[in-house]
Structure 1
Amino acid sequence: MSSKLRIHSPAIHYFDMVRRCHSIREAARRLNVASSAVNRQILKLEDEIGAPLFDRLPGGLRLTAAGEIFARHVTVVLQDVERVRSELDALQGLRTGHVEIATVEAVTADLLPRVLKDMRERYPQVTVGVTLLGSKSIPEAVLAGDVDLGLAFALPRSAELEQLSVGHFSLGAIVVPEHPLASRPAASFAQCAEHGLILAKSELSIHHLLAPLRERLRQPVQAILESSSLELSRQLARRGLGVAFQTRIGIEADLAADTLKHIPLNDGGGVHSDLGLYVRRGRHLPPAVEALARQLDAEIRLRERQEREQLA
């Protein structure tokens, strides 16, 4: 029953789709309605609000200042509809729901698959959508309502985001076992630079964590490679091409198989990257979203505890 829940004007849904598509025609196609119907609802909203919601530009529609304000309201309204739908489903014992999460690449190697497997076993009728983004892009996806949860490293504090969980993980060099640094319990960034650097581009939080260390080098060092892909960096490190950097999260299989070593950086007492789980502040979470958040929190805390024990 609740899957057909429609408790708000179609104009709300039409506006939200136009906002996402930047086009009335494309929004109409996705909604399976006539373009004239979508346009009529947008014009009606603009008349009621007393201001245009979109600028009509050659490249498509763009939200006006009034549109941005209205979009924040629509995001809250539609997310609350999802919460109501999930709670009604839970009352019927259906345990259904859908969760959208934006996450960074590193967690897709082991952490997230383990959590999703557990979710599937506990809540087989809950579906999940996963979008891969750089850490810098994840807050925007959460605040825009494109996703329910954001899982990212080293996000700055924001009044608009609520941190549901956080784990502190050591950033380190990853090298092959026969590398000169492999036997060290820790290493400085300068020592790593002597062996060729494989660095992250600015889309990734690792870039910003390492930037101060790179600036402190006595002589500028040109990286062998700069990439927005941690997987590519890991593969190059496995082939002995240089020293890459990340936390233990994402290289679990290599560490278990002893194909890579993780050497914590010791600059300034250590460099840490916080893996956090985020939602839009003040949002009431639907049961399915809350269930996935609980599972992620438990896994993050487990990984943090395991790392502390390994480094003790």
Structure 2
Amino acid sequence: MPLHIYPRSLQYLEAVARLGSVQAASRALGIAASAIDRQIIGLEEECETPLFERHPRGMRLTAAGEAAILLARRWRADQDRLSDELRQMRGMEQGTVRLAAMDSLSNSVLPALVSVLRDRHPGINLSVDIMAPQDAARDLDQAMVDLAVVFNLSADKTRHVLWSTPLPFGCVVGQGHRLWGAPSVTLKDAAQNPIAAQSEILPVREYLERRYGWLFNPVKPVLVTNSQQLLKQVLLEGKLMAITSQMDVATELLAGDLSFVPIRDAGLKPQSLSLVVDARRPLSHAARQVGNLQASLLEDLMKRLNDMIAPAAPVSPG
């Protein structure tokens, strides 16, 4: 049986915060609105401060409420980990592991993780949320996820890195493009080609805009999108080029549908991809199994991608 050490009042607090009103929480939980309201008022009396701002159209957390929610999520995560560990002690390998990941991994390592996990650890369930790096870092800090696979995550003493790798930039093109199969290219030469670019909210574009904004000015990209799938479909036509990392197009590179041409210019700092956990909380047995599998799959994928790139002499900036 699952543990029930997580207070009901905190369950209601989370639901109201997530859904925006007592009435919405009542409908979602199947609990009378008056019961939920009593629990919230009781919490506020114990805390001696309001946890919500009450408005005609709903309820919004106060600063105290935000702090209470953070603690509530950590409490719930601790309950889940304890439950998993007790199952493990009874010889039962079960549990749900929550993973935050990037959209570009959706057709490479993530399906592989699901497949391997199902075969090797059928009692472990996986919950995957696709989100931006900053959102993944926030959810990891708030105990909303157990692990995160993210690009360009800043160093933080509260995070423990299970696996990490640099991701050098390159030009990605389809068959028929003039750069197809080239051993390397300078950024100046690459900029002479029509570009399909990622949206500025994505890590690759954010970095390029900050360091090499001249790539997109005065000549605008032919396409700007936050959809990795659309970007890859356009590149397959062989007319446009994108500046990104191998990991964004891993499946297509391994299939031979796209080509990755390294950019050898000095000063072009690689991105990074990291698998991280919160250093302040112990991992459950299930989360450790998922973390080990994910690190192994990422390492194998990077080796296969790097083996495809022929060594080339460094090219000085043009």
The corresponding residue for 2:287 is: 289
Q: Deviations over 1:212-234 (max 9, x none)?
A: 45324596221111111111111
Q: Given residue 272 of structure 1, which amino acid in structure 2 is its aligned partner?
A: P
Give how far 1:163 is off. Answer: 2.7
The corresponding residue for 2:103 is: 105
Q: Deviations over 1:143-166 (max 9, x none)?
A: 233322221111222344333321
2:138, 2:158 → 1: CA distance?
Answer: 10
CA gap 1:260/1:297 in 2 versus in 1, 3 angstroms: same
More displaced stretch, 156-165 vs 220-229 = 156-165
More displaced stretch, 42-51 vs 120-129 = 120-129
2:278, 2:93 → 1: CA distance?
Answer: 23
The corresponding residue for 2:17 is: 19
Q: Given residue 169 of structure 1, which amino acid in structure 2 is its aligned partner?
A: L
1:175, 1:117 → 2: CA distance?
Answer: 30
1:111, 1:76 → 2: CA distance?
Answer: 28
**Contact 1:189 / 1:214 at 8 angstroms: preserved in 2?**
no
Residue in structure 2 matching 1:124, options 122, 133, 136: 122
1:166, 1:26 → 2: CA distance?
Answer: 41
2:42, 2:113 → 1: CA distance?
Answer: 44
The corresponding residue for 2:316 is: none
% identical aligned pairs: 26
Q: Deviations over 1:168-187 (max 9, x none)?
A: 22222111132111232122
The corresponding residue for 1:187 is: 185
CA gap 1:148/1:67 in 2 versus in 1, 3 angstroms: same
For structure 2, the 5+ residue unaligned runs are 312-318
For structure 1, the 5+ residue unaligned runs are none
1:173, 1:138 → 2: CA distance?
Answer: 27
The corresponding residue for 2:34 is: 36
Q: Given residue 274 of structure 1, which amino acid in structure 2 is its aligned partner?
A: S
**Contact 2:77 / 2:144 at 8 angstroms: preserved in 1?**
no
The corresponding residue for 1:173 is: 171
**Contact 1:100 / 1:130 at 8 angstroms: preserved in 2?**
yes
Q: Given residue 140 of structure 1, which amino acid in structure 2 is its aligned partner?
A: R
2:215, 2:125 → 1: CA distance?
Answer: 48
**Contact 2:162 / 2:277 at 8 angstroms: preserved in 1?**
yes
1:228 aligns with 2:230: no
SS of 1:127's partner is strand
SS of 2:246's partner is coil
Map 1:1-312; keep pairs closer than 5 Å: 1=1, 3=2, 5-217=3-215, 220-268=218-266, 270-311=268-309, 312=311
1:246, 1:103 → 2: CA distance?
Answer: 17
TM-score (norm 2): 0.90
1:200, 1:273 → 2: CA distance?
Answer: 15
SS of 2:166's partner is strand
CA gap 1:45/1:168 in 2 versus in 1, 3 angstroms: same
Quote the RMSD (CA, aligned, Å): 2.1
Give how far 1:28 is off. Answer: 2.2
Q: Where does structure 1 differ by over 6 angstroms across 4 or more consecutive aligned residues?
A: none
